[in-house]
A and B are shown apart, each in its own frame.
Chain A
């Protein structure tokens, strides 16, 4: 009864829609740049370009992490808190370790991811709930340690390295891009990357095909946590301190960047490339609105609208039976 021969080649109309979905992030990015360039002469400058890249470094690393999580069919709401906790680890140990404060930051991120992964994959708690809980707990640990006071970074080595530039490019940006490239290779060219997509595309199929689904889920969160640890390090360098409010609400920007980049929350499909575009869209939108003097009290409304319009235009409703 389900043996109805389906079209193997999409009809012309469908093809156009498919193309639109593919190119929407690029088009939106171009449109934003064009609009801001026309309304502000300070937007399209090398200096502002570097500022945008610097502002998006943390978001990029965290959004690449989130791409793994979302493509595997899950969600991680604790990324902002992991970033804050790792930033705190880096800041607190920067005097002793200097540049090597990156190690405790990533270690804290990995540990947080391990907790998330164990709760989700083996505790069988839905990732939304598990990471909602750990989001509060990780943030609570930051509060407990700092008692609300900022932990500032004074180590010269640390600051020179993480806020400096190489060949005119901010080191933080270079680190973020390097992390993104490594992550993209893992995502596209490793067996693990393929298994992540398989788990998100059809968990039951993956399991019955002999993929160790729970192990993949655990590792997705560990990898995500480790990347968020790196993002925390970059964040601490940018603010030269760790505070209790650091990266609060970051998870929303991160999820927005991934989704605007064309990765559906349903799992199985997605691209690191799309996420990079999504990050740039979010970063340029914020930067451009500041440049063109959009009322700061209006900016959140615009950001929300862009997210909704992007998903409205790009989502493939034919595959989704129940929208929830």
Chain B
């Protein structure tokens, strides 16, 4: 039995796990569920010693379990299968399975291919894989690639295997294959913990359910005690923070942007939506379910393959983000430092990065740009040493305000937001919400994609939910928005 007591974990100042106590038994599948940021993945990574724990103890088969690193955890019998695909397609299947243990297959300094392949094949056979180690790795689909990672975890001969959202990138059929592999491991007496956003998977495979919220354990139930509804309720079960979201005040104007039967290059859609001036339109859904693709199409990042978009009633077909910005569409991307701001650049340079007159002339007008930067610093309350300070020196919340400032500096007609407060503290969050609300009241149309449920429900006037690339449900203005209801349309 793997038993963890009072586990806590801090990342810098933010606490990811609070006093978590859980038990895992051999031959049992435990489903870990909770919202984004609830601490599910962190718990598995702490137990597999990918991250060091900040506090708490753990025992494995009655002995103290305190591995220094992931290798030590594997030696003790605890292996983790990561969410991301970690298979190197330049290597053979056998090499990928035994990656990290290739030293054990040396003969005269070279790799003993026969023994390596025989041992790898034995693992694949053990989990009933339908391909052989000698197959070409490029012929495997993602589900089989994931199977290689499971095999890699088994190469360490573990007693416990943790799966961190292993089906996130898999298709239905591929996920089903992985489920059967997990069932096979369970029958061999291996203890399993499984994180998934897909509740039906959890119900199908788990013997026991543990719900996490805000880094703490909410409860621990046998699967048959729960229904999808009661589970969603436990996952969400928080009270709304009053005052975080200012009330909607403005009147609705004309339709700003419209998508008609739009299908994106990644095959998301068909999507129909219309956002009016003065409203915040929210798109909810799991990561990759379609919201980001809708923003990418409107922002000129990805073209549509079918359907059309109308901006103020005229066709909108941006072939480059420059055309979208020029048409008055500001885009706040989801990856702050990778897509939003240049951390080496000053606040001034970042805020004016997308501003048109700052770009359309030959010589840059420093005085004008400084004025714009000062205005945004004041309007958004950006805490900085001055417009010349490097954005990399700011806190996440202030960096996010710089990014928002970059969007607002163009005085847009439509604001596209992708997780506008991801990784931002509560104070900055409230300020950002106030600004968005105020601008909407002044006639801005806002289209927001977010994985943050309270934000989706608290800030949006209208909500649509996407699932597997389709709009699964639309909630109209004034509809009683209920978290459990929204969550159910996501899964």
The chain A residues found within 8 Å of chain B, CB to CB, are 1-9, 189-195, 197-198, 201-202, 204-212, 268-269, 319
Contacts and interface: CB of A to CB of B under 8 A. Distances in A.
Given A1-B12, A205-B341, A210 B396 contact: no
B353 A212 contact: no
Nearest to A8: B393
A94 B384 CA distance: 58
B339 interface: yes
A5 B14 CA distance: 11
Most B Cβ at <10 Å: residue of A3, A197, A206: A3
A269 B340 CA distance: 18
Nearest 4 A-B pairs (CB), nearest first? A4-B12, A3-B396, A210-B325, A201-B342
A2 B399 CA distance: 11
Given A1-B423, A5-B13, A205-B339, A211 B395 contact: no
Contact of B353 (A1, A189, A190, A205): A205
B2 to A, nearest CB: 25
A6 B385 contact: no
B435 interface: no
A116 B13 CA distance: 48
B389 interface: yes
A189 B364 contact: yes
Given A1-B16, A8-B384, A269-B344, A191 B359 contact: yes
B333 interface: yes
B372 to A, nearest CB: 14
B12 A206 contact: no
A265 to B, nearest CB: 14
Nearest to B320: A212
B301 interface: yes
Contact of B361 (A7, A8, A191): A191
Contacts of A189: 363-364, 366
B395 A5 contact: yes
A127 B384 CA distance: 37
B362 A190 contact: yes
Contacts of B424: 3
A193 B406 CA distance: 19
Given A3-B423, A190-B363, A194-B364, A210 B324 contact: yes
Interface in B373-397: 384-385, 389, 392-397
A212 to B, nearest CB: 5
A80 to B, nearest CB: 30
Interface in B127-185: none
B325 A4 contact: no
Contacts of A201: 342, 344-345
A197 B362 CA distance: 15
B229 interface: no
A265 B448 CA distance: 37
Contacts of A194: 349, 364
Contacts of B14: 1, 3-4
Contact of B363 (A191, A206, A269): A191
B362 A7 contact: no
Interface in B319-369: 320-322, 324-326, 331, 333, 336, 338-345, 349, 353-354, 358-364, 366
A214 B361 CA distance: 19
B321 A207 contact: yes
Contacts of B366: 189
Contacts of B384: 8
A244 to B, nearest CB: 40
A207 B395 CA distance: 24
